[in-house]
Amino acid sequence: MAVDDVTLPKRQRELAVLTKQLVKFAPTKVAVEMVPKPHTFAIAEYEKFTPTALLKDRNEIVQIGFRLAHRLKHRTVFAIDEQSETVDYFPFDKVEASAKANGQEVDLALLKAKWAAEGASQAAMQPRLTVSKILAELNDPAAIMRNQSHYISALVLGRGNDWAGAELNAAWYLRNAKIHAKLMKIAQLGDRVVVLYGAGHNYLLRDFVRTTPGFVLVEPRAYLR
């Protein structure tokens, strides 16, 4: 979807405000959607970060994650993402093929329409909301449930021994389970971790945190007002 250039002065001011809001949470760690290197969760690129990067690099990892960690004088930003060369964690091509093979083109079109509407809704926030308010909207319980419902809607796509929609959900769950496993590895007793991730992960990552002994979910919306 079309988004504003976050290096422009207006968005930079908003991102500075966002940073001040998140600092109030007193994070001890920042974890982001980047695949870790072998044997370490520390992001080497962060060691070279200076605020001048904020006017060049539009990536949310830099604009929010690195900016926040730098403000807090953290020595490390943690990469906890999961990708694979052998496992497709979002096999939508198989879902499309299955739907066409099983005469479920209408169900497939409805699913695509839901995802398109979600993207349009997020795009519509851009001109009228600040960065903080956009993030608050994306972390609204109704938005989280609506987003998750799009994944669940894919479950109807399948028939007989071919349940491609269920397999997509299983693969998506697996990816998020591995992300949370890495979060568990970096978190220590007493840590306060800011986790910066795409909105599609919101439901599952929250569920993992809520059900993990010793973990407490802290709602970001309380800090984004």
Residue 125's pLDDT is what?
A: 93
Contact 172, 204 (CB under 8 A): yes
pLDDT per position as a tens digit, 191-222: 999 999 999 999 999 999 999 999 999 999 99
Cα–Cα distance, 141 to 219 (Å, whole number):
10
Residue 77's pLDDT is what?
A: 98
> What residues pair up with 196 in beta bridges, in sequence order?
32
Residue 109's pLDDT is what?
A: 97
pTM above 0.75, yes or no: yes
Tokens representing 68 are 């926040």
On the question of pLDDT at 1 being above 80, the answer is: no
Residue 168's pLDDT is what?
A: 98
Cα–Cα distance, 124 to 108 (Å, whole number):
24
| Residue 181: partners with Cβ closer than 8 Å, 6 or more residues away | none
On the question of pLDDT at 3 being above 90, the answer is: no
Residue 174's pLDDT is what?
A: 98
Residue 130's pLDDT is what?
A: 97
| Three-state secondary structure readout of the chain | CCCCCCCCHHHHHHHHHHHHHHHCCCCCEEEECCCCCCCCCECHHHHCCCHHHHHCCCCHHHHHHHHHHHHCCCCCCEECCCCCCCCCCCCHHHHHHHHHHCCCHHHHHHHHHHHHHHHHHHHHHCCCCCHHHHHHHHCCHHHHHHHHHHHHHHHHCCECCECHHHHHHHHHHHHHHHHHHHHHHHCCCCCCEEEECCHHHHHHHHHHHHHCCCCCCCCCHHHHC
Nearest to 40 by CA among 74, 69, 75, 79: 79
Residue 128's pLDDT is what?
A: 93
**137 alpha-carbon distance from chain centroid:** 14
Write down the domain spans for the chain: 9-85+175-224, 92-172
Contact 82, 179 (CB under 8 A): yes
On the question of pLDDT at 170 being above 80, the answer is: yes
State the chain's mean pLDDT as an integer.
96
Quickly state the pLDDT bin for 225 (edges 50, 70, 90).
confident
Cα–Cα distance, 176 to 204 (Å, whole number):
7
